[in-house]
Amino acid sequence: MLRRLGAVLLVALVVGAVPGPTRADTWPLESRNEGAPATISLSQSGRSAGGPLAGRVVVIDPGHQLGNHRFPARINRQVPAGGFTKPCNTTGTSTNGGYPEATFAWQVSRLVARRLRDLGATVRLTRHSNRQDRWGPCVDERGRAGNAIGADLKLSVHADGTYAAGARGFHVIAPPDRAPWTHDIFQPSRRLAAAVKGGLLSQRFGVATYIAGGDGLDVRSDLGTLNLSDVPTVMVELGNMRGSDARVMTSAPGRARYARGLVAGVRGFLG
């Protein structure tokens, strides 16, 4: 459904970008900040054109950005979020030892992207780096990521930071049936949420102990990242960084397990 108009320029994914001017790290805004980006065809993003996910387009949204805390005026400005406004972004949480959510989400997302590309999928990330001199992108840009390129799904990767006693485990958030914003995607988004839950369970992760319902699934109408999407989308909170989950999140083998679970969920949804 064409609710929101706007052209999105595709840019080549750059890992470990050369430092440039302080800016929002967001692929739709590259043309306004650093000149017109080089464009690529969708097929160039997949490493295995004949793999089981050939022809599929997946958007991965690593939550936050490491430098958000350095740009309070920019991340606190109000942006559209689906019938209301919200701050552009937040700093995210961290473990008690100082390991940031932004870094965790970035590291897991890169593992997921690499595996999906190996399977033949075209993968777009909503940010290109994890740096102290970058901020954003805003939630409205994250929300629209994937719309113009007709992505098969969008997966937003996050972690929680509650101090509730014994809080641990993951939960997957889907949008509600909320016309005109998510009426067209809420059903496939629920299926995506169930598939992602199944993928994480297959890697022996437990569902959140601190979310109402206790089944690892949640529905929220207040998230611009979900509300502005025209493609099936979910946000996953992979665990509680302030609790016992931190031991897994701060280890490379633990992050690899999270990535395997997310890839299994994507594959389960795409069939």
One-letter identity of residue 213:
G
Judge whether 155 and 61 are in contact, CB under 8 Å: yes
Cα distance between residue 162 and residue 173, in whole Å = 16
> Could you say which of 30, 101, 141, 237 is catalytic?
237
Give the three-state DSSP class for 40: coil
Q: What residues contact 253, with CB distance under 8 A and at least 6 apart? A: none
Give the 3-state secondary structure of 168-231: CCEEEEECCCCCCCCCCCHHHHHHHHHHHHHHHHHCCCCECCCCCCCCCEEECCCCHHHHCCCC
In the residue annotation, 237 being an active-site residue is answered as yes
- Positions annotated as catalytic residues are 237
